[in-house]
Every structure is written in structure tokens, then in C-alpha cells.
Amino acid sequence: MLPVASVPDMDAKDGMLRYLPFSAPAPDRRVVIAWRKSFTRQAAIEAIRQAVMACDLPGVSMLDEAAAVQ
């Protein structure tokens, strides 16, 4: 079982994988970035956060900006 974001360009003709969507309610998960307040490379964390927020992955919804920076 893989999230749809893991196989966005899957070729159904190869016979190796098959996409079957979940029935409602589909399971979900939240992936987060966590760091210590004392971490000195805040610019690195911000660069990672911006890169993740810029991704357009199928089946992925981003938190709004206010919830994402806490």
C-alpha cells in the first residue's frame, strides 16, 4: 500500500502496480517538520519548509500558513 503521491506517474500497463482508491472515509496522515527552538540554522528550516510548501503532489493538502508556522 502506497500513498497516491508516491506513484503519480504510474503506468497501469506494466502490471506491477494497481491503483485502488480507498472508500470514504479514506485514511490520512500528517507529516510535519519539527526542530528545537535552540536550533541555530533557522534559515535551513525555512528553506526546507518553503520547498515542501511549493510542491504540488497529488493527494496532498497543505496546512494554511498560520497553522504551518507555530
The domain limits of the chain are 4-68
- Per-residue pLDDT of 5-53, as tens digits, reads 676 666 656 667 777 778 889 888 888 888 898 999 999 998 998 888 8
What mean pLDDT is predicted for residues 51-62? 79
Q: Closest Cα partner for 26 from 4, 51, 50, 49? A: 4
pLDDT for residue 8:
63
Cell of 21: 482508491
The confidence score (pLDDT) of residue 23 equals 85
> Can you give the pLDDT at residue 41?
92
For residue 55, give the C-alpha cell.
510542491
What is the DSSP track for 17-67? Answer: ----PPPSSPP---------TT-S-HHHHHHHHHHHHH---TT--PPPHHH
* Predicted local distance difference test score (pLDDT) of residue 9: 66
Query: Which pLDDT does position 12 carry in this prediction?
Result: 58
